[in-house]
Structures are given as structure tokens and as C-alpha cells.
A and B are shown apart, each in its own frame.
Chain A
Amino acid sequence: MLDALTSFFLVVGGLFALIGSIGLARLPDLFMRLHGPTKATTLGVGGILIASMLHFSCRTGGLSLHELLVALFLLITAPASAHLVARSMLHLRGGSGGILDAAAVGSQRCKPPERKAE
């Protein structure tokens, strides 16, 4: 029973990590690509860590909770690094001032800055 649960979390975790990377590889724009790694990959690693927690808890008898530490750390750092990548992209495209101004004046929906020729 516990084995089945562990296997379930393993496969789900692996699949989500894969989906995150598929998003990274196939979406057309950097800001869209950000969504894959920040969300799907985090849950993917989370699922594998839960599986590891279950597996080692039942194998060694005692509770094995130090995987929580990695999960907690990734949950805190993933948004921070996504935010930094987004900011450096905005910086490369000429700063976010334009978007902020346009959005403040007009409607709340606005276009991303021009993409450089690739």
C-alpha cells in the first residue's frame, strides 16, 4: 500500500518536472517560459521529495522529515529567481518604466515591450 503511494508520488513528480521543462523548451516568449519552471518543476520536485519522505520513513522505522527542508527552500527560492530573471529580461529590453507608465495611464492590460530581432 505504502509502496503504491510512494510510486504514485514518484511518477507524478517526474511527470510534472517533465512538463515544466517542456514548457521551457516549447513556449515562444521568455515571459511565458518563466511559468513552466517556477510552478511545474517546483511541484515535480515536491512530489519526489514526498515520495522520498514516505519511502525512508517506512524503511528506517523512524520519521524522515529532512526532505521538508529542501521542499521549503525550493518553494521560497523559486519565485525569487523567477522574479530576478524577469527583471533582467525587462532590463535588457529597455527597462520596465515604459510598461509601468503605460499600464498606469491606460487600461490595466498592456503589451509587452518590443522583442529584439532574434
Chain B
Amino acid sequence: MKRWLPQPLASLSLWGVWLLLGNTLAPGQILLGLLLALALPLFTVRFWPDRPRLRRPLKIPAYILMLLWDITVANLTVARLILGPADRLRPAFILLPLDLRHDFAIVVLANTISLTPGTVSADISPDRRSLLIHALDVEDADQTVAMIKHRYERPLQEIFEC
């Protein structure tokens, strides 16, 4: 099982992407997609020496739904900030100490931060223990950090084994 199906989630997403790309559910395409989805991870598994292990994959859909909702809210917030007077914005760099240790989990967190209200991740410290983020309008930096840690980092910690 482990040998012939090294990355079940990657296989599943490859299959899904193949079917979406063809925009079809023809039996031939389903079979071909399945074949590719099974074969590709076998050849690419060597490029992932340090694969993240999922502890609770069932929490992923909840996280994605929350993310989609937050993206919508983020856009309304940013639209208001952009259209409002520019000199009233209070941009700042904030340093976010990381509790996540795995590279992949940090990437997911950085992407999440970039897509949600008023923050963009800009850089990571060389020791990978803190993330530099830029915020468009900050009232209280500590509060922003606490919000990110509570809302995004904790679920990611639960999903990934860290």
C-alpha cells in the first residue's frame, strides 16, 4: 500500500485535475486519469524527501471553507481601504513568531495570510522561526498577531503533525 500508493491525496488531486482539465466524465478519460494519478506519484516521490504527514485530513475541508469565507470578507475590507482616503492608512511591518515547524505547513500559512484581510507575507527569517508580514492598516500589531495565530495557525497545527 505504502509502496504502490505513496501519496494518496496527491493521486486524488491529480485525478481530479485531469478530469477538470478535460471537463468530461467519459469512461476512457476516467481510466486514463486514474492511470496517470497512480503512476505520477511513483515517479515524483523521490523529489519529496521530507513529506508532510497529515494528522487529521478530515479537518481540511473545514479549513478551506473558512478560508473561502475569509477571502470574501478580506476583499470587502481591502476594497474599502483602497477606495477610502489613502493618507489615513496605517501600514506596518509585523513580525509573526511561528509555532509551525514543517516547511509545507509554513507555506500554507503564508499563503493564507496573503489571501486574508489586509496582510501580505513578505519574508521569512533565515532560521524559519518568524514570518515578516506587511499589513495595510494596523490598529494593534499584537492583536493582529494573536488573531492570525488563533484563527489560522492553530487549525494548521491540528491538521499537520508538528
Q: Do chains A and B touch in the complex (CB under 8 A)?
A: yes
Interface residues of A, Cβ cutoff 8 Å to B: 16, 19-20, 22-23, 26-29, 31-32, 34-36, 38-40, 42-43, 64-66, 68-69, 75-76, 78-80, 82-83, 86-87, 90, 96, 99-100, 103-104, 107-112
Q: Apart from A28-B86, A79-B120, what 10 extra A-B contacts exist at CB < 8 Å?
A: A16-B79, A23-B78, A32-B89, A38-B114, A42-B75, A86-B122, A90-B122, A96-B132, A108-B94, A108-B141
**Nearest CB of chain A from residue B73's CB, rounded to whole Å:** 10
Q: Are B82 and A90 in contact (CB under 8 A)?
A: no
B112's nearest neighbour on chain A, judged by CB, is A79
Interface status of B92 (Cβ within 8 A of chain A): yes
Q: Are B86 and A26 in contact (CB under 8 A)?
A: yes
Collect the chain A residues with CB atoms within 8 Å of residue B72's CB.
43
Q: Are B95 and A104 in contact (CB under 8 A)?
A: yes
**Nearest CB of chain B from residue A71's CB, rounded to whole Å:** 10
Which of B3-11, B16-24, B39-47 binds A?
B16-24
Residue among B74, B82, B113 with max Cβ neighbours from chain A (10 Å):
B82
Query: Once bound together, how far apart are the Cα atoms of A69 and B89, in whole Å?
Result: 35
Residues 116-142 of B, flagged 1 when their CB comes within 8 A of A and 0 if not, give 001011110100001010101010011
**Nearest CB of chain A from residue B117's CB, rounded to whole Å:** 8
Interface residues of B, Cβ cutoff 8 Å to A: 17, 20-23, 71-72, 74-75, 78-79, 81-83, 86, 89, 91-95, 110-111, 113-115, 118, 120-123, 125, 130, 132, 134, 136, 138, 141-142, 145
Collect the chain A residues with CB atoms within 8 Å of residue B136's CB.
32, 35
A77's nearest neighbour on chain B, judged by CB, is B111
Q: Are A87 and B123 in contact (CB under 8 A)?
A: yes
Q: Are B21 and A69 in contact (CB under 8 A)?
A: yes
Count the A-B residue pairs with Cβ separation under 8 angstroms: how many? 130
Q: Are B75 and A43 in contact (CB under 8 A)?
A: yes
Collect the chain B residues with CB atoms within 8 Å of residue A64's CB.
23
A108's nearest neighbour on chain B, judged by CB, is B141
Q: Are A78 and B115 in contact (CB under 8 A)?
A: yes
Taking a contact as CB atoms closer than 8 A, the residue among A40, A65, A108 that contacts B79 in the complex is: A40
